[in-house]
Structure 1
Amino acid sequence: MIGSETINDYLGRLAARKPTPGGGAAAALHAAQGAALVAMVARFSTGGKYEQHVETTSRIIAAADQLVGETLGLADADEAAFKAVIASYKLPAESDAEREARAAAIDDALSQAAEPPARLIKLSGAVVDLAAELLDIANPNVISDIAAAADAARAAATTARVNIDINVVAIKNAQVRAALAEQTDGLEVKVVLAADSLSRQVRERILR
């Protein structure tokens, strides 16, 4: 599991001439780092003069910690899904029946492979939402990490979008392709806009 690897081991696998892990896993780790940064900022914004916001920061810490685990899980899910895609392409295709079964298996595997990045986009949005909640109550000494969290989540969402696109265009069944496109088109737009806005707000406060 990626979550239990050392950073060096993971990066070594990522750099190797192997299909997994790839961009999907990298996207999930972007989101996990974003969530961890949110949790860190919230923890630095507790006690003393921040005590009045204890309910909010406690909720954000719990939610961000959970998102770290969920996004890391999607890194493994993405890797497993892509392995299933590879396996489907290796199915026999000697007879018409085998070719038909292989084509259906490939389309199904590609559709399944779009699920982890689609879920990741939604979780990335949750990271940005939590970061935005912190903006007005955060310890100003770590406010730059709110922007860092937003940018990490943005990278996760846009990378996940590309991974969805490459799966959608490879699907041969037009109905399956259209249905998947309908479910996923534009998922990342709100995340990108919110992340850009939050990062801009942070920079404006820093540069006042």
Structure 2
Amino acid sequence: MKEEIFSAYLTELGSKDGSSGGGSSAAYIGAMSASLARMVADIQKDKKKYADQKDKLVYLLKESQRIRESFEDLAKADAVAFKPVLDAYKLPKETSEEKGLRDAGIEQALKTAVEPPRTMLDEGLSLIRVLEELTSMRMKGTIVNDLMVATLFMESVLETAVLNVTINTKLMKDNNVKNQLEKEAKKNLVQGKKQLKKLSDSISFFLEHNKWPEYQTEEE
């Protein structure tokens, strides 16, 4: 992101119109995490040490790039996702027919608004798998610090995505849809945090001792 573009986004984020918020911020953090993973794969893919794993590193590079682009799209989608909900709440409700149309409009708008954070969760789990693959290669040097930063970023991304799922579901009238979405989100969060904890513990061990823990193997 060019400096002037990033500065413009921060100005927009800090403005009172509220068009951008926590959701888009988390998506950009996810994009940064994906970019860090891409950088690690790009640096390592041409090293003799990883010559026999070059295809794997090229795949991880491409997957990181795909996820980064997806997060950037999600940042834009999230910024406008809730507006249709607000518009639906402004619909007339003087008659029973108007109330019915308004309620249906709100419900549909909420189901649409919940999609960006749901996708953010899915892409977050995809990126965690990339980080697991990179970490399993037992890399050395300061580049491991970048893997740690990417890992730390992802917990905030997952937590924010779940918050933005539930901010929509709590307004839904359809309890079946509401419960299904919340159950799915919480399950993904628990799984993601479990994976991130294992990653964080392993990388922290390396950063402290300059060697990988014995329980981590390349097959993990």
TM-score (structure 2 length as normaliser) = 0.87
Measured against aligned partners, the alpha-carbon deviations of 1:129-179 in whole angstroms (never above 9, x if no partner) come to 101111143353200111111121221111000111111111133344234
Give unpaired runs (5+ residues) of structure 1: none
C-alpha separation between the residues in 1 aligned to 2:15 and 2:87? Answer: 19
| Other structure's SS at 1:186 match | helix
Which residue does the alignment assign to 1:140? Answer: 141
Which is bigger in relative contact order (C-alpha 8 A, separation at least 6)?
1
Aligned to 2:19: 20
Which structure 2 residues correspond to residues 65-84 of structure 1 after superposition, within 5 A? Answer: 65-84=65-84
CA distance in 2, matches of 1:133, 1:142: 15
Q: Which moved more, 1:137-146 or 1:114-123?
A: 137-146
**1-structure distance, mates of 2:140, 2:161:** 31
Distance of 1:198 and 1:182 partners within structure 2: 24
Matches within 5 A, 1:58-207: 58-137=58-137, 138-207=139-208
Segments of 4+ moved more than 4 angstroms: none
- How many pairs does the alignment contain? 207
Could you tell me the TM-score, scaled by structure 1's length?
0.91
Q: Distance in 1 between matches of 2:82 and 2:183?
A: 21
* Residue segments in structure 2 that go unaligned for 5+ positions in a row: 210-220
2: CA distance, partners of 1:26 / 1:86 = 21
Q: Are the counterparts in 1 of residues 151 and 200 from structure 2 also a CA contact under 8 Å? A: yes
Between 1:74-83 and 1:28-37, the stretch displaced more is 74-83
- In percent, how many aligned pairs have the same letter? 27
CA distance in structure 1 between the aligned counterparts of 2:190 and 2:36, rounded to whole angstroms: 22
Q: Does residue 34 of structure 2 align to residue 42 of structure 1?
A: no
1:84-135 deviation per Cα after TM superposition (whole angstroms, max 9, x unaligned): 1122122222222112211111111112111111111111111111011111
Letter in 2 for 1:42: A
> Helix, strand or coil: the match of 1:74?
helix
**What residue is the counterpart of 1:57 in the other structure?**
57
